[in-house]
Amino acid sequence: MHAQYMRRALELAEWGRGNVSPNPMVGCVIVHDGVIIGEGFHKVYGGPHAEVNAVNSVKNPELLPESTVYVTLEPCAHFGKTPPCANLLVEKSVKKVVIAAFDSNPLVGGKGIQILKDAGIEVETGILEQEARSQNRRFFTQIEKKRPYVILKWAQTLDGFVARKDYSSKWISNSLSRQQVHKWRAEEDAILVGRNTAQYDDPSLNVRDWVGKNPLRLVIDRQLQLSHELKLFDHGIPTICYNLKKSETNGNLEWKKLSPKFEIQEILDDLQERKIQSLIVEGGSFLLNKFIESELWDEARVFTSQVKFLEGINAPQISHPSSERVYFLEDELAIYYHV
């Protein structure tokens, strides 16, 4: 039965996707005598945590001392934007707490569990742990690897090209695939493209075919050659331009000067300092290959259409097999995980 209730908690946690970063997604279910009497999830960064929302949803609080709390991540033990959730559960004298995943954040890291145990509350851990860690892989990557979770995304033709030789590509993937990309954008913190993609595609890099927040826009322009007439510089969304020339701010546009080495790791270090939890890289081929060669990526999402170019700019190559393949009409989406 533990797994059944934890799966429900994981379902609830998913509702926070795209809205709680840099916090993790967390779901909570409260059960009394086999009946769910409370549910909650972390809805928005800075707002109440899952345990608070779940406790507040219980119509008869007198049942809490005889109830079991299922939570997808170890309850927090520190004062941040909100008070510690471990203390709340102690205050409510819950009978037992079942936890999916240990929180590797040094501010929590076992302290939440210890608070519960010290108060005489029974604690069980590791229920659907892998599912919980996978759901929050962005959070765990940032905590454990000290960098954002990196997703590479591109669309390629059936014969393996991402653009024509003149960098034009029209649309390679279909409208349903493109809508899926906009959903992804709404779920991630930042989006990055290289100079050629910015210059030839003139992308907006916003969320249009889905409902959700726009990611922070990032572009690499080492010598500051891009026209300020491009959509990336329209002041519509906060945007950072990584370059070798200057550090400057103009409204919500920022130019960030990097060292002459200009390594991918340097960009990721800067994003880590900004508490950017996830990054989606949408091209071009040169930039995508840099991430692959540096082994600084976690996931790749590759659309393959039925279109053929016969010649053009080669698509990046990933050496190991895909973990999943799904179809968006005639487009095939292959998903790879870098493990």
d(CA 175, CA 210): 12
Gap between the Cα atoms of 253 and 271, Å rounded: 15
168 annotated binding-site participant = no
* CA dist., res. 278 & res. 154, Å (int): 17
Single-letter amino acid code for the residue at 122: E
Q: How far apart are CA 58 and CA 36, in angstroms?
A: 9
Residue 159 marked as a ligand binder: no
Separation between Cα atoms, residue 51 and residue 84, nearest integer Å:
10
pTM for the whole thing? 0.94
Query: In 15-110, which ranges are continuous DSSP H helix?
Result: 50-57, 85-91
Q: Is 205 annotated as a binding residue?
A: yes
155 is in an annotated binding site: yes
Structure confidence by residue, pLDDT tens digits, 174-229: 999 999 999 999 999 999 999 999 999 999 999 999 999 999 999 999 999 999 99
* Parts of the chain belonging to CATH 3.40.430.10: 148-337
Higher pLDDT pick, 332 / 168: 332
The yes or no reply on domain 148-337 and CATH 3.40.430.10 is: yes
pLDDT at residue 139 greater than cutoff 90: yes
As its CATH architecture, domain 1-141 has 3-Layer(aba) Sandwich (3.40)
pLDDT of residue 109: 81
pLDDT of residue 232: 97
Q: Three-class SS of residue 239?
A: strand
Q: What is the pLDDT of residue 34?
A: 95
No. of helices (H) and no. of strands (E), the chain: 10, 17
Quick: pLDDT tens for 311-331: 999 999 998 899 999 999 999
**Is a pLDDT exceeding 90 seen at residue 113?**
yes
- Provide the pairing of β-strand 216-220 with 96-101: unpaired
Which residues fall within 8 angstroms of residue 250, CB to CB, at 6 or more apart? Answer: none
CA distance 251 to 272: 22
Question: Is 49 a known ligand-binding residue?
Answer: yes
Identity of residue 93:
S
User: In this predicted model, what pLDDT tens digit does every residue of 63-95 receive, in sequence order?
Assistant: 999 999 999 999 998 777 678 899 999 999 999
Q: Is the pLDDT of residue 19 over 80?
A: yes
Catalytic center residues: 51
Assess contact for 224 and 199: CB atoms under 8 A: no
171 marked as part of a ligand binding site: yes
Q: Is 125 annotated as a binding residue?
A: no
- Strand segments (E) across the chain: 27-32, 35-41, 68-73, 96-101, 122-125, 149-156, 161-163, 190-193, 216-220, 239-243, 248-250, 253-257, 278-281, 299-304, 313-314, 324-328, 331-337
Q: Which two tokens stand for residue 141?
A: 């990557």
Contacts of 28 (CB under 8 A, 6+ apart): 9, 12, 38, 39, 40, 41, 50, 51, 53, 54, 69, 70, 71, 72
Angstrom distance (rounded) from CA 204 to CA 201: 9
Q: Are 275 and 254 in contact (CB under 8 A)?
A: no
Q: Is 169 annotated as a binding residue?
A: yes
| Local confidence band at 339 (pLDDT 50, 70, 90 cut-offs) | confident
Question: Strands 299-304 and 331-337: what pairing?
Answer: antiparallel
Alpha helix stretches (DSSP H) within 111-174: 111-118, 129-135, 137-145
What is the average pLDDT score of the chain?
Answer: 95
User: How far is the first Cα of the chain from the last one, in angstroms, to the nearest whole number?
Assistant: 31
pLDDT of amino acid 166: 87
